[in-house]
A and B are shown apart, each in its own frame.
Chain A
Amino acid sequence: MTEWAVELKDVRKTYRSGPIEVPALRGLSLQIAPGEFAATAGPSGSGKTTLLNIIGGLDRADTGEIWVAGQNLQLLSSSELAHLRLQRIGFVFQTYNLLPVLTALENAEFTLLLQGVPARERREKVEKLFLEIGLAGLEDRRPAELSGGQQQRVAVARAMVTQPALILADEPTANLDSATAIALLDVMEHLNRTTGTTFLFSTHDPQVMERAHRLIRLRDGQIASDEAHGKQGAAVRAERDAG
C-alpha cells in the first residue's frame, strides 16, 4: 500500500470572527503521492492557502486527519509541529521572505542552522545547490541586491537545502514576471525530478497550472476537480490509482 506524502481525510476548518463563521475547508479528502509536482488552484476564498497552512502544520483543522510524512498532525504539539516543519517540510512564500540582513548564502543555510548542521557542511550544501539552480556567484549578496527571481530562487534553496520530504509553495510566482516565473518553475521541476521531493503549490498563475503534473481545483473548501497533467502526471495518476 502506498504511503502518501500527504493524506487528508475529511478535513474541516472554519474561521470565526465574533458571530461570523467562514468555512474554509468543508470535509476535504486528498492524497498526494511522494514525488508529485502538484498545484492547487481556485478563486480567492476557495481554501488554497488554508489547505497549505494545515498541511504545513501552521494551522490546525477543526476535524479530520492530516498525515504528512507518516505523522498525524492533529496529534502533534506545537513544538512537535515546529520540529516536523524544520525537518520534513520546506516552505516557499509568495513574497520571498528572506532576512534582509543576511546574505543569499546565509539565508539559504538558515534552516540548516536551525537544524544544528555545522557551518562547513551548511556552506557546502548551499553552494552545491546554488550551482544547480543558477545562483552561483551570488552567495554574498544581500536580498536587496538580488532581483525578484533570484530572491525566490534563494527562498527555494532555503526550502530545499534540508532535503525535506515536502515543499509547500504559496503562490511562488505571484510577484514574478512571466519569464522569471518560467525559469523558477524550471528550477523547481528540476529539483522535483532529481531529488524526488514532493511539491505542492497554491496558485492563480496559468503557467504554474500548466506546468503542474497534477492540478487540484478547489471551490468553496472542497475539491472541484483533480486532473493529471502531461506524461508524468498520468504516470503518477496511474500509480496512485493502482495503490
Chain B
Amino acid sequence: MSGRLLQLAWRNLWRNPRRTFITMAAIAFGYAMLLFVACLMAGLRWQMIENGTSLVMSQIQVHAPGYYPTRSIQKTLGGRQGTDVTAMLATISADRRVVAAAPRVYGNALLSASHRSAGVELMGIVPDQEPKITTLNRQIAKGSYLNAQVPKGVVIGDNLASTIGIDVGSEIVLLTQAADGSMGNDVYSVVGIFHTGLDTVDRELVLMSLPSLQELLHLAPARIDEVGIKLNDITAATAVASSLQTQLSKTLPVRVMAWPELAPELASYVQFNRGITFVLFVIFFLVAVIGVMNTMLMAVFARTRELGMLMALGMRPVQVIVLIMAEAAGLAAASLVVGGALGVPLLWYLQEHGLDLGGATGEVISLAGVVVGHLWYGRQDFPAYGQAAVGLAATALVSALYPAWRAAHFRPTEAIRKV
C-alpha cells in the first residue's frame, strides 16, 4: 500500500475529529486500564509467590525420596548414614542460579509450659544460613531471632505464645519421639516471638537451631531432612529443580521439588490469576470491537458516495478494504500510543508505591494461605502489555472487517447517487 493511501486513511480518520477522538479516548483509556490491571495482577502473582515461598517454605526443596509429604523422621537425606551436608550445599550452590541454600530438620512435639500444652511443629535451622533463603527472621514481634548465645533458644508464634501463656524468657518443655524410637525431651528458652499473619504458622511453628533439634530427635549431625534453596529468578524454579535433580542424583537418591509442586494451591492461584487477567483482556477486546466497528461503520456510511466515486475511478474492492482497514489500524495505533502514555505513570506509581489496601481490609491480607501484605505492588509484565497491544490492534482490524467488506461491495452507480 502506498504512502499516499496511508496518508488518505489517516486524514479520513480525522474528518470527524470528535467521533474519532471519543473512540480513541475510550480505547486508550481501556488500554491504560489493561496495563494497570496486568501490572497489578503480575504484582499480586509475584507477591503471592514471593511471600508464599520466602516466609518458611523456600523456592526449592531437596528431600530423600518418599520423605514428602509425610515427612517421616526415618527418611532423612542419605538414610540412616546421612549425607555430607557441606558437600551437598556446595554442589547446589555451584549452580549460578542459586542464591543460597540451607539445611533443615523437622519434627513434631508436645510443647508444655506451666499447666498448658499444645502440639507443635519443630523446624531446625541454621540461624545464619536460613535468613538467606526465608524471611521469618524479619517477622520477630518480640525478643530476638535465634542466636548462638542461646543454643537452647526457640522462637515461637504469637498465637502459640498467647494460647500457652508464655512470653520471651519463658521456659518450655518439648516432648517428642526421637528417630531411634526413644522419647526425646528437653527444656528450652523462648528467645523471640514472631507474627506472620498466617494463623497456622503463628500457632504451630517452633523454630530452633538445627543442632538442638537433631539432638532432641537423636539424629546424627549428618542427618538432615531437607535443603531449602533460594534462586535469583523464581520463574526458573522448575528448570533449576530439574537440573539439580540430575546433578544431586549422581551421588545420592533425592527428590528435588520446586515451589509449584510444593505448594500446588499457590500454583493454582497463579493460574487463576492469569485466567482472570485473560478474561479481563477479552472483555475489553469485546468492548473495543463494538467501539471500533461502530466508528468504522459510521465512517463508511457517511462516505458512501465518496467510496462509490473511488470505485468508479477504478479503485478495486480490495483497495477499498485496505483503505478502511488502514483507518482502523491508524485508530488503534493512535489509541495505543495515547493509552501507553496514560499507562506509564500509572505503572510506575504501582511499582514504586503500590496500592494501600490497609485502610479497607485491615493491616494484613492473606490469600490462598499466603500473606500478601496491605500494600499491593504492581510488577511490570511486558509480555502482557505486548499481548494487550497486539490484541487491541487485532481487535481493531477484525472490527473493521465488516465495515470494509460492506464498503467494498457498494455498487458505484448507487453509491454515487447517495447524498
Q: Which residues of A contact B (CB under 8 A)?
A: 53, 56, 58-59, 78-79, 82-83, 85-87, 91, 93, 97, 99-102, 106, 109-111, 113-114, 116, 119, 158
| Contact partner, A58, options B5, B312, B315, Cβ 8 Å | B312
Q: Contact at A101–B316, with CB atoms within 8 Å? A: no
Q: How many residues of B contact A (CB 8 A)?
A: 24
The answer on a CB contact under 8 Å between B412 and A93 is no
Complex A-B, nearest 10 residue pairs according to Cβ-Cβ distance, in ascending order: A86-B314, A101-B11, A97-B309, A85-B314, A58-B413, A58-B412, A59-B413, A113-B4, A53-B413, A82-B316
CB pair A101 B315 closer than 8 Å: no
Min C-beta distance of A81 to chain B, whole Å: 9
A110-B312 contact given A93-B416, A99-B306, CB 8 Å threshold: no
Q: What residues of chain A lie closer than 8 Å to B314, measured between beta carbons?
A: 82-83, 85-87, 111, 114
Q: Are A102 and B313 in contact (CB under 8 A)?
A: no
Residues of B that sit less than 8 Å from A by CB: 2-5, 8, 11-12, 14-15, 305-306, 309-317, 319, 412-413, 416
Pairwise interchain contact B315-A114, C-beta atoms closer than 8 A: yes
Residues of B within 8 A of A102 (CB): 8, 11
Q: In the bound complex, how far is the Cα of B313 from the Cα of A158, in angstroms?
A: 9
In the complex the two chains form, what is the Cα distance from A186 to B341 in whole Å? 56
Complex CA–CA separation, A116 to B317 (angstroms): 16
Q: List 12 A-B contacts (CB under 8 A).
A: A53-B413, A56-B312, A59-B413, A97-B309, A100-B15, A101-B11, A101-B15, A111-B313, A111-B314, A113-B5, A114-B314, A119-B3
- 17 more CB-based (< 8 A) A-B contacts, given A93-B312, A101-B8: A53-B413, A56-B312, A58-B412, A58-B413, A78-B317, A79-B316, A82-B311, A82-B314, A86-B313, A91-B313, A97-B305, A106-B4, A109-B4, A113-B2, A114-B314, A114-B315, A116-B2
- A93 in complex: contacting residue of B2, B309, B311, B317, CB < 8 Å: B309
Residue numbers in B under 8 Å from A83 (CB-CB): 314, 316
Mostly, the B contact residues are helix
Specify the main secondary structure of chain A where it touches its partner.
helix
Alpha-carbon separation in the docked complex, A178 to B76 (Å): 108
A1 to chain B, nearest CB (A): 29
Point out the residues of chain B lying under 8 angstroms from A114, CB to CB. 313-315, 319
CB distance from B411 to the nearest CB of A (A): 8
B315 partner residues in chain A, CB cutoff 8 A: 82, 86, 114
For A85, list chain B residues within 8 Å (CB): 312-314
**Given the complex of chains A and B, what is the CA–CA distance between A158 and B413 in angstroms?**
19
Chain A residue nearest in CB terms to B315 = A114
Q: Nearest chain-B residue to A168 (Cβ)? A: B312
Question: Which of B4, B305, B316 has the most chain A CB within a 10 Å cutoff?
Answer: B4
Residues of B within 8 A of A91 (CB): 309, 312-313
Q: How far is the CB of B324 from chain A (nearest CB, A)?
A: 14
Q: Which residue of B lies closest to A52 (CB)?
A: B413
CB distance from A142 to the nearest CB of B (A): 10
Taking the closest CB of chain B, its distance from the CB of A82, in whole angstroms, is 5
Tell me the smallest distance from the CB of B109 to a CB of chain A, in Å: 82
Chain A: which residue is nearest B309 at the CB level? A97
Q: Give the docked Cα–Cα distance between A101 and B4 (Å).
A: 12
- Chain B residues closer than 8 Å to A53, beta-carbon distance: 413
Cβ of A152 to closest chain B Cβ, rounded Å: 14
Closest B residue to A81 by CB, please name it.
B314
Given contacts A59-B413, A85-B312, A85-B313, contact A99 B8 (CB under 8 A): yes
Please indicate which of the listed interface residues A78, A91, A114 has the most CB atoms of chain B within 10 Å of its own CB: A114
Q: Is B319 a contact of A97 with CB atoms below 8 Å? A: no
Q: Which residues of A contact B306 (CB under 8 A)?
A: 97, 99
Taking CB as reference atom, which chain A residue is nearest B314?
A86
Is B312's CB under 8 angstroms from A119's CB?
A: no
Minimal Cβ-Cβ distance residue in A for B15: A101
A14 → B minimal CB distance (Å): 15
CA of A101 to CA of B6 in the docked complex: distance in angstroms?
12
A79 CA / B408 CA spacing, docked (Å): 12
Task: Report the nearest B residue to A91, measured CB to CB.
Answer: B312
How many angstroms from the CA of A56 to the CA of B312 in the assembled complex?
8
Complex interface: chain A residues within 8 A of B412 (CB): 58
Would you give the shortest CB distance from A17 to chain B, in whole angstroms?
A: 13
B residues within 8 A CB of A113? 2, 4-5
Output the least CB separation between B31 and chain A (Å): 26
Residues of B within 8 A of A110 (CB): 310, 313
- Chain B residues within 8 Å of A97, by CB: 305-306, 309, 416
Return chain A residues, CB-CB under 8 Å to B309: 91, 93, 97
Q: How far is the CB of A205 from chain B (nearest CB, A)?
A: 20
Q: What is the bound-complex CA distance between A56 and B314, given in angstroms?
A: 10
Rounded to whole angstroms, the CA-CA distance of A83 and B311 in the bound complex is: 10
A228 to B309, CA, bound (A): 32
Q: How far is the CA of A85 from the CA of B315 in the complex (A)?
A: 9
A114 to B314, CA, bound (A): 8
In the assembled complex, which residues on chain A have CB atoms less than 8 Å from the CB atom of B8?
A: 99, 101-102
Nearest chain B residue, comparing its CB with the CB of A54: B413
Q: Is the CB of B12 within 8 A of A101?
A: yes
| B316 / chain A contacts, CB cutoff of 8 Å | 79, 82-83
A149 to B313, CA, bound (A): 20
- Shortest CB–CB separation between residue B318 and chain A, in angstroms? 9
Alpha-carbon separation in the docked complex, A51 to B169 (Å): 109
A79 to B320, CA, bound (A): 13
A-side contacts of B15, CB under 8 Å: 100-101
Which A residues are CB-close (under 8 A) to B311?
A: 82
- Name the residue among A58, A79, A87, A113 with the largest chain B CB count within 10 angstroms: A58
Q: How far is the CA of A97 from the CA of B312 in the complex (A)?
A: 11
In the bound complex, how far is the Cα of B12 from the Cα of A172, in angstroms?
A: 26
Shortest C-beta distance, B9 to chain A (Å), equals 10
Chain A residues in 8 Å Cβ range of B12: 101
In the complex, what residues of B have CB within 8 A of residue A158's CB?
Answer: 313
Could you tell me the distance between the alpha carbons of A117 and B413 in the complex, rounded to whole angstroms?
A: 27
